[in-house]
C-alpha cells in the first residue's frame, strides 16, 4: 500500500513539474515581441529619396537585430540590416532611406516589411515581420500649367498667380524659401487654383515659381516671369528721450520703475525692442499663417483710414538713438497713420476678426482675415470694440486709436500680410493697381470673383512703369 502511495506521489510530482514547465514555456512563448512603428507614415514613394524613422521597442527584453525589406512583385530588396545586441537597449530609432530608382522600383503597389528580434528565448521563435506596411510607388509628377500671373511686381509688394494642376496634394507659389499655398474651388474648373503671394522685404528679390507636389513627393515646377520695378526702402532716425523711456519702459517691461537710471531704462528698452519685437512678430506670423477663408471676403480696393495722413511707411529701417548715440536698428513693418486722438478705427475691407488683444510692442491689436491668406492688422489701439469670429464690413468701427505698446503718440499702425508675409498696403489701397495687377490676371485665366474682377479690363490712368499704385504717399481721404 505504501508503495502505491509513493508511486502516486511521484506521478503527482512529475505532473506538477510538467505543468510548471509547460506553464513556463507557455509564459515564455506569450512574451510580447518587438513593436515597430514608422515615423512619419509612408503611403507613397516617388522619385525623390524619402527618409523615415523606424522606432523599435522591445517590451520583454533587449533588442538584438533589425532588418527591413521592400517587396515588389515578389522580389525583396534589403534596405536595412543591423546587429543591435551590443547596444543592450530595449528602445532605439533608426533612419531608413528609401530610393525608388536605386531599388529599381516600378509604379504600382509595394510593401515594407521590418523584421526585429529581442533577447527573450521562446520555444517557437516568431520569425514573421513585426511591421508590414503597404505603400504605392508613383513616379509621374502631377500636371501643372500656368494660366496667368502678375507681371510687374515690387520688392515687398504682392502679386497673384493662376494655374491648373491635377494629381497634386500641395501646390502654390514659392518665393525663395517662402511658400504661399494656392486655393482651388474659385472657378468652374476644380483644377484651377489661385495663389496670392508677396516678396518678403528681408529676402532678395528673386523670381517666384509655381510648384505642385503629389503624395509620393514628386514635384513639378513652372517659373514665373516677373519684372521687378524699382523701389527704395525709407529710413528714419528715432531719437529716444528720457521722458519717453520713463513713460514706456515700465509699461512694456514691469516691474521696471520709471525712476530707474537712464542706463537701466535703455538696457530694458533694448530687450523690449529686440526680444519683445521678435515675440510679437512670431505671434503675428502664427495668426496670419493660420486658417484663412477659402474665398475672398473682401471686395474692391482696401480703404485708408478716413482723414488720416501717412507719417511712417513700409518697410522702414529705423535707427534708434539716445543722446546722439545709436543703440539699435530695427524694421518698421507697417504704415503709421496720424489722425486725431482716439478716433474710430475702421476696417479697411470686409473680413472676419481672427485676433483681438495685447501683443507686446503693438499694444492692443486687431487682425482681420479677408480670405485667401490676406490679413490686415490694426495696432496701438486704446479700445477694442469687436470680438474674434465677428464679421465686419468695410468702414465698420473696430475700436479707437491710441498709443498702447511701443508708440510715442496716438496713431494707428496699419499692416497688410499675405500668408504671414508683410506686403505694401499702398498697393491694396489703389484701385488702379488692383485692376492691373490682381483682377486682370484673374480674368485672363477665366476666374470671376464678384467685387474684384468686375470691370478689370477697363483702361486705367496709371503708367505701365508705375507699378499700378501711387509712387509717393497716398492721398488724404
Among the residues of 196-258, which ranges form H helices?
242-252
What does the alpha-carbon distance between residue 182 and residue 163 come to, in Å, rounded to a whole number? 9
The string of pLDDT tens digits covering residues 197-251 is: 999 999 999 999 999 999 999 999 999 999 999 999 999 999 999 999 999 999 9
Kindly compute the dihedral angle of the four CA atoms of residues 149, 152, 153, 159, in this order, to the nearest 10 degrees: -20
DSSP 3-state of 456: coil
Domains of the chain: 35-121+128-137 (2.60.40.10), 143-229 (2.60.40.1930), 235-445 (2.70.70.10)
Asked if residue 40 has a cis previous peptide bond (ω within 30° of 0), the answer is: yes
What does the alpha-carbon distance between residue 399 and residue 382 come to, in Å, rounded to a whole number? 8
Q: Where are the beta strands (DSSP E) in 150-288?
A: 152-154, 158-166, 170-175, 178-181, 192-198, 209-213, 219-223, 227-229, 235-239
Residue 312: strand pairing partners: 336
What does the alpha-carbon distance between residue 346 and residue 304 come to, in Å, rounded to a whole number? 9
Residue 302 CB-half CA count within 13 A:
29
- Longest CA pairwise span in the chain (Å): 125
Asked if residue 315 has a cis previous peptide bond (ω within 30° of 0), the answer is: yes
What does the alpha-carbon distance between residue 338 and residue 88 come to, in Å, rounded to a whole number? 69
| Per-residue confidence (pLDDT) for residue 100, from 0 to 100 | 97
| Per-residue confidence (pLDDT) for residue 14, from 0 to 100 | 66
- pTM greater than the 0.75 cutoff: yes
**Does residue 144 contact residue 191 with C-beta atoms inside 8 Å?**
no
What does the alpha-carbon distance between residue 202 and residue 331 come to, in Å, rounded to a whole number? 9
**Does residue 196 contact residue 374 with C-beta atoms inside 8 Å?**
yes
E strand or H helix that includes residue 358: strand 351-358
User: Sheet of 91-98: strands edge to edge?
Assistant: 35-39, 50-57, 91-98
| Per-residue confidence (pLDDT) for residue 474, from 0 to 100 | 34
Residue 190: CB atoms within 10 A of its CB come to 11
For the chain, which ranges sit under pLDDT 70?
A: 1-7, 12-30, 455-477
**Does residue 379 contact residue 334 with C-beta atoms inside 8 Å?**
yes
What does the alpha-carbon distance between residue 446 and residue 460 come to, in Å, rounded to a whole number? 21
What does the alpha-carbon distance between residue 120 and residue 270 come to, in Å, rounded to a whole number? 61
Q: Which residues contact 102 (CB under 8 A, 6 or more apart)?
A: none
The string of pLDDT tens digits covering residues 359-385 is: 999 999 999 999 999 999 999 999 999
| Per-residue confidence (pLDDT) for residue 382, from 0 to 100 | 97
Residue 223: strand pairing partners: 209
Amino acid at each position: 500500500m505504501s508503495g502505491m502511495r509513493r508511486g502516486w506521489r511521484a506521478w503527482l510530482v512529475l505532473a506538477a513539474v510538467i505543468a510548471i514547465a509547460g506553464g513556463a514555456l507557455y509564459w515564455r512563448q506569450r512574451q510580447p515581441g518587438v513593436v515597430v512603428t514608422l515615423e512619419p507614415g509612408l503611403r507613397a514613394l516617388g522619385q525623390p529619396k524619402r527618409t523615415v524613422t523606424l522606432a523599435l521597442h522591445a517590451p520583454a527584453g533587449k533588442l538584438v537585430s533589425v532588418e527591413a525589406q521592400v517587396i515588389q512583385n515578389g522580389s525583396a530588396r534589403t534596405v536595412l540590416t543591423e546587429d543591435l545586441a551590443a547596444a543592450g537597449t530595449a528602445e532605439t530609432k533608426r533612419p531608413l532611406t528609401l530610393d525608388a530608382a536605386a531599388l529599381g522600383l516600378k509604379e504600382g503597389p509595394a510593401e515594407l516589411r521590418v523584421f526585429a528580434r529581442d533577447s527573450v528565448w521562446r520555444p517557437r521563435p516568431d520569425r514573421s515581420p513585426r511591421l508590414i506596411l503597404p505603400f504605392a510607388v508613383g513616379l509621374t509628377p502631377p500636371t501643372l500649367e500656368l494660366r496667368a500671373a502678375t507681371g510687374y511686381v515690387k520688392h515687398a509688394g504682392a502679386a497673384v498667380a493662376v494655374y491648373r494642376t491635377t494629381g497634386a496634394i500641395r501646390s502654390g507659389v514659392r518665393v525663395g524659401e517662402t511658400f504661399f499655398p494656392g486655393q482651388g474651388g474659385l472657378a468652374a474648373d476644380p483644377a484651377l487654383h489661385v495663389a496670392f503671394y508677396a516678396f518678403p522685404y528681408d529676402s532678395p528679390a528673386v523670381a517666384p515659381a509655381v510648384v505642385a507636389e503629389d503624395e509620393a513627393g514628386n514635384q513639378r515646377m513652372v517659373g514665373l516671369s516677373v519684372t521687378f520695378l524699382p523701389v527704395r526702402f525709407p529710413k528714419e532716425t528715432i531719437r529716444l528721450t528720457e521722458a519717453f523711456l520713463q513713460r514706456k519702459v515700465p509699461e512694456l517691461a514691469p516691474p521696471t520703475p520709471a525712476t530707474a537710471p537712464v542706463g537701466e531704462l535703455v538696457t530694458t528698452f533694448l530687450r523690449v525692442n529686440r526680444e519683445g519685437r521678435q515675440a510679437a512678430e512670431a505671434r503675428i506670423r502664427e495668426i496670419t499663417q493660420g486658417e484663412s477663408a477659402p474665398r475672398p471676403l473682401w471686395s474692391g480696393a482696401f480703404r485708408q483710414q478716413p482723414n488720416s495722413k501717412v507719417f511712417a511707411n513700409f518697410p522702414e529701417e529705423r535707427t534708434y538713438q539716445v543722446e546722439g548715440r545709436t543703440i539699435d536698428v530695427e524694421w518698421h513693418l507697417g504704415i503709421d497713420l496720424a489722425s486725431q486722438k482716439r478716433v474710430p478705427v475702421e476696417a479697411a475691407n470686409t473680413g472676419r476678426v481672427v485676433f483681438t488683444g495685447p501683443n507686446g510692442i503693438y499694444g492692443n491689436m486687431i487682425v482681420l482675415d479677408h480670405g485667401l491668406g490676406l490679413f490686415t492688422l490694426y495696432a496701438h489701439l486704446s479700445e477694442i470694440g469687436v470680438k474674434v469670429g465677428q464679421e465686419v464690413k468695410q468702414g465698420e468701427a473696430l475700436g479707437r486709436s491710441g498709443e498702447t505698446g511701443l508708440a510715442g503718440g496716438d496713431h494707428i499702425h496699419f499692416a497688410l500680410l499675405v500668408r504671414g508675409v508683410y506686403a505694401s498696403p499702398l498697393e491694396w489701397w489703389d484701385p488702379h493697381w488692383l485692376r492691373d495687377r490682381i483682377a486682370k490676371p484673374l480674368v485672363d485665366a477665366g476666374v470671376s470673383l464678384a467685387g474684384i474682377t468686375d470691370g478689370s479690363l477697363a483702361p486705367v490712368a496709371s503708367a505701365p512703369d508705375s507699378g499700378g499704385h501711387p509712387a509717393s504717399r497716398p492721398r488724404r481721404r
